[in-house]
Amino acid sequence: MLADGREIHYFDAEPGADHASHVDGRVLPERPPTGEMRFDVLRREWVAVASHRQSRTFLPPAAECPLCPSTPERATEIPAPDYEVAVFENLFPSFVAFDGHAVGEGTELSPARPAVGRCEVVCFTSDHGTSFAQLTPQRVRTVVDAWADRTTALSELDGVEQVFCFENRGEEIGVTLHHPHGQIYGYPFVTPETRRMLASAEEHRLRTGGDLFADVLAGERKGERVVVQNEHWTGFVPVAARWPFEIHLYPHRRVPDVPALSDEERDAFGPAYLEVLRRLDAVFGLPMPYIAAWHQAPVRTGRDLAYAHLRVHSTRRAPGKLKYLAGSESAMGVFINDVPPEKAAAMLREAL
């Protein structure tokens, strides 16, 4: 436990590390109360209101990074003096366990309820100056095991309906801590993106009897947009990519979520994903900002339709130029891509 009662978990490739003996001796403020969610009846989507996040840590210097290991001179969010992979509850969460804090029910046209759920931080390494792309395949396997463990744990929490593992990389994306890390959200609802995809998969099954995700994967594996491939995984630029550089990484076997991946699939993920990230960095010869997002099945619905896969996209369309979500994208949800998917795939294949 951390000093304010938040959980912390360590994951190691080999057992035996004595992390539990390192105690968090900080004096921390009280944890924030359960926030509020408000329902947009026009879009039929929930919006979380979490005003305490306004004070979250913003781009501290490396010497003040809260995700580095603790030292005798400075205590951080991770009490151990070293670690491989560490996961802990976010100090500035959007969703937390219900604490009895009263939240109004809103009105018929603006329903509201407590923002019940869970937000965790995943530190991929204790090395502040590296990146996910520079991890070893063995370390990536440990990260995958951490994702699987926490997906299972969060899925068992009261009120959690979907678990989302993701990484934001680069200030252009909005990163506020440079230490290599990702996050895991336990949402109290099924997200709009997942609902749309599952509805499409259900319509496809009723119309053709097939699996939409598997059919898309089979078609892409035969085409010109494949970027990486091994025995268990294929990464490709989708035919209707919305972002200048966008890669979808699918296991060849349909599984609903990360915990369902076999040992062989978990081992094979690292080499494929590391190649994707290294190709992204090599396209323009500079670190590529990106969002990496696991699409998993919801906890209680659509599990027979979902097909777990990872999507990586970057806002960079050229050196010194970003793709902004301007009028069409932000107001109407209609994306206009500056880079044809076939060209993006070719650039990625040629990058290394």
pTM greater than 0.95 (yes/no): yes
CA pseudo-torsion sign 213, 215, 217, 223: negative
Comparing CA positions, the residue from 238, 244, 242, 241 lying closest to residue 322 is 244
Q: Is 179 annotated as a binding residue?
A: yes
For residue 98, what pLDDT is reported? 82
Mean pLDDT of 45-49: 96
Pairing label, strands 226-229, 162-169: unpaired
Residues 6+ apart with CB under 8 A from 35: 48, 49, 50, 51, 52, 94, 95, 96, 103, 114, 115
Mean pLDDT of 171-186: 96
Mean pLDDT of 240-256: 98
Known catalytic residue at 181: yes
Catalytic residue among 181, 248, 295, 309: 181
Mean pLDDT of 190-216: 98
For residue 343, what pLDDT is reported? 98
For residue 102, what pLDDT is reported? 66
Kindly state the percentage of the chain with pLDDT values over 70: 99
Phi, psi of 44 (to 5 degrees): 55, 50
Mean pLDDT of 133-158: 98
pLDDT tens profile 272-329: 999 999 999 999 999 999 999 999 999 999 999 999 999 999 999 999 999 999 999 9
Q: Is 119 annotated as a binding residue?
A: no
How long a stretch of residues is the chain?
352
As assigned by CATH, the class of the 8-190 domain is: alpha beta
For residue 16, what pLDDT is reported? 83
Mean pLDDT of the chain: 96
- Pinpoint the residues of the chain covered by CATH 3.30.428.10: 8-190, 193-350
pLDDT tens profile 143-155: 999 999 999 999 9
Confidence tier at 333 by pLDDT (50, 70, 90): very high
For residue 49, what pLDDT is reported? 93
Q: Is 248 annotated as a binding residue?
A: no
For residue 103, what pLDDT is reported? 74
* Domain spanning 193-350, CATH architecture: 2-Layer Sandwich (3.30)
pLDDT tens profile 72-112: 999 999 999 999 999 999 999 999 988 777 677 889 999 99
Mean pLDDT of 243-262: 98
Q: Is 65 annotated as a binding residue?
A: yes
